[in-house]
């Protein structure tokens, strides 16, 4: 029986998504090492760019981007890991550094599957907390 929500099936769906994107990138005839670097750069700086959006954009854009971030978090949970990280690894696995590794190194945690998975949740929770405070203070805090 096909269980859509089984962990094995969700990992398989992540693998298929990564394969689909990987095949597309192979068709554009650009070095995988460079593609992996570009994707990793965007992947790492994406949350920092969004902070500037939350600090300066209108409420409508803030809510839109908050929903986009929430979608990616739910996708991370559903797929049991980040498909972008798996794509980066598939493109260039030599000297691979996960984007959560700098945060793990900061707090002295080892680099392994468990700490990377749950460390990502901690960083995401802190990020959502900060963004929520920014949105609250910018748009909902009433000054008497």
CB burial string 85-117: b at 16+ within 10 A, e below = bbbbebbbeeeeebbbeebbeeeebeeeeebbe
Tell me the C-alpha distance between 124 and 127, whole Å: 5
Does a structural domain hold residue 144? Answer: no
Does a structural domain hold residue 111? Answer: yes
Alpha-carbon separation of residue 114 from 29, 38, 44, 109, 118 (angstroms): 35, 26, 20, 11, 6
Give pTM, 2 decimals: 0.84
Does a structural domain hold residue 24? Answer: yes
Does a structural domain hold residue 31? Answer: yes
- Tell me 81's DSSP state: S
Does a structural domain hold residue 2? Answer: no
Note down the domain range covering 43. Answer: 7-138
Tens place of pLDDT per residue across the chain (144 aa): 457 678 888 889 999 999 999 999 999 888 999 999 999 999 999 999 999 999 999 999 999 999 999 999 999 999 999 999 999 999 998 888 899 999 999 999 999 999 999 999 999 999 999 999 999 999 988 654
Does a structural domain hold residue 1? Answer: no
- Count structural domains, the chain: 1
């Amino acid at each position: 029986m096909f269980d859509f929500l089984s962990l094995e099936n969700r990992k398989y769906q992540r693998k298929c998504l990564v394969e689909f994107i990987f095949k597309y990138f192979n068709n554009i005839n650009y070095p995988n090492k460079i593609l992996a670097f570009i994707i990793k750069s965007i992947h790492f700086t994406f949350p920092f760019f969004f902070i500037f959006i939350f600090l300066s954009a209108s409420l409508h854009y803030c809510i839109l981007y908050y929903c986009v971030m929430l979608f990616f978090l739910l996708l991370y949970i559903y797929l049991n890991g980040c498909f972008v990280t798996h794509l980066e690894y598939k493109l260039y696995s030599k000297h691979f550094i996960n984007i959560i590794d700098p945060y793990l190194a900061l707090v002295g945690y080892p680099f392994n599957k468990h700490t990377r998975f749950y460390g990502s949740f901690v960083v995401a929770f802190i990020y959502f907390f900060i963004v929520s405070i920014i949105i609250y203070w910018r748009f909902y805090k009433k000054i008497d």
